[in-house]
């Protein structure tokens, strides 16, 4: 469902993603961990087609994101850490707009919106302007809009940002159900507890490289640690965080 082959991304002299190869199967929940500036967000951006790789390829639901971008995006949903929403629309209007962009059947879109809206407790907010909603409520609207078209691949960058414990639980349940129903779920997170609780497999990126992939147990075995995933993570990324230049390079790019 997600296939990365020898993915490389350079920012000038800096190699942000260095020869990453990874396959995530249908219905798998995969968590991507790593220190700051490890290359996680860059990998996700390549995967959703926001950025071109320097070399290598990325396939989503069997489609190459560079060669067949529209086919891939129809099957994909992406929620960034700070999602964009049209401030002057209401959530209902925004969901209708998203459904139309994905050319969904209206009845199916309405049913999905109602079900997901109820699940994330959005009913009383559906007709308020988005600009009046709290950060967490906006995040819930973004998640519902992303799930509306029943994506085959669901990618989230820091999924729990802004969510209260109750809705964080709802999101975890929904993601698990999606995975069980066959959706491939890829989340990039710094919350090790989310990865440990939810993920079928965990990947750890460090300085642009995917240095370890496996279940929690496999990673512990490999690092020779026991107990919390934190120990494993710290042992595997013992070289410290990536250089600051890695984080700064993309931001300083444009006029």
**Contact characters 29-58, other proteins, x per CB under 8 A:** ----------------x--xxxxx-x----
Number of residues that bind other proteins (CB under 8 A): 49
Interface with other proteins (CB under 8 A), residue from 97, 177, 215, 230: 97
Determine, following the binding rule CB under 8 A, whether residue 116 of this chain makes contact with other proteins. no
Q: Of the two residues 79 and 213, which places its CB atom closer to other proteins in the complex?
A: 79
Determine, following the binding rule CB under 8 A, whether residue 13 of this chain makes contact with other proteins. yes
Determine, following the binding rule CB under 8 A, whether residue 101 of this chain makes contact with other proteins. yes
Determine, following the binding rule CB under 8 A, whether residue 76 of this chain makes contact with other proteins. yes
Side-by-side strand order, sheet with 153-157: 76-79, 153-157, 184-188, 29-33, 201-206, 209-214
Determine, following the binding rule CB under 8 A, whether residue 197 of this chain makes contact with other proteins. no
- Contact positions with other proteins (CB under 8 A) in 203-242: none
Determine, following the binding rule CB under 8 A, whether residue 249 of this chain makes contact with other proteins. yes
The span from the CA of 142 to the CA of 80, in Å, is: 9
Question: Which span (32-40, 173-181, 231-239, 246-254) binds other proteins, by CB under 8 A?
Answer: 246-254
Q: Of the two residues 35 and 83, which places its CB atom closer to other proteins in the complex?
A: 83
Interface with other proteins (CB under 8 A), residue from 9, 40, 59, 201: 9
The span from the CA of 165 to the CA of 112, in Å, is: 24
Determine, following the binding rule CB under 8 A, whether residue 14 of this chain makes contact with other proteins. yes
Question: Which span (88-96, 171-179, 189-197, 231-239) binds other proteins, by CB under 8 A?
Answer: 88-96
The span from the CA of 198 to the CA of 222, in Å, is: 20
Is the CA virtual torsion 213, 215, 221, 225 positive or negative? positive
**Contact characters 130-169, other proteins, x per CB under 8 A:** -x--------------------------------------
Q: Which residues bind other proteins (CB under 8 A)?
A: 9-14, 45, 48-52, 54, 70, 73-74, 76, 78, 80, 83-84, 86-89, 92-93, 95-97, 99-104, 106, 109-110, 113-114, 129, 131, 249-250, 252-255
């Amino acid at each position: 469902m997600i296939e990365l082959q020898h993915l490389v991304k350079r920012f000038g002299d800096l190699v942000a993603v260095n020869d990453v190869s990874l396959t995530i199967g249908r219905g798998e929940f995969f968590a991507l961990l790593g220190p700051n500036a490890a290359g996680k967000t860059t990998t996700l951006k390549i995967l959703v087609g926001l950025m071109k790789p320097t070399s290598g390829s990325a396939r989503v639901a069997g489609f190459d994101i560079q060669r067949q971008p529209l086919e891939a995006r129809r099957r994909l949903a992406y929620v960034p850490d700070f999602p964009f929403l049209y401030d002057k629309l209401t959530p209902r209007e925004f969901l209708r707009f998203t459904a139309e962009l994905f050319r969904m059947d209206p009845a199916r879109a309405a049913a999905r919106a109602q079900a997901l809206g109820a699940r994330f407790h959005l009913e009383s907010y559906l007709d308020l302007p988005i600009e009046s909603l709290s950060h967490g409520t906006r995040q819930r609207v973004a998640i519902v809009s992303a799930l509306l078209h029943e994506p085959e691949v669901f990618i989230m960058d820091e999924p729990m940002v802004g969510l209260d414990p109750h809705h964080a639980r709802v999101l975890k349940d929904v993601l698990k159900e999606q995975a069980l129903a066959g959706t491939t779920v890829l989340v990039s997170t710094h919350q090790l507890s989310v990865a440990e609780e939810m993920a079928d497999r965990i990947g750890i990126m460090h300085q642009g490289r995917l240095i370890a992939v496996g279940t929690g147990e496999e990673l512990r075995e490999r690092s020779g640690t026991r107990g919390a995933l934190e120990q494993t993570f710290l042992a595997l990324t013992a070289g410290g965080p990536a250089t600051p230049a890695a984080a700064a390079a993309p931001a300083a790019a444009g006029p």
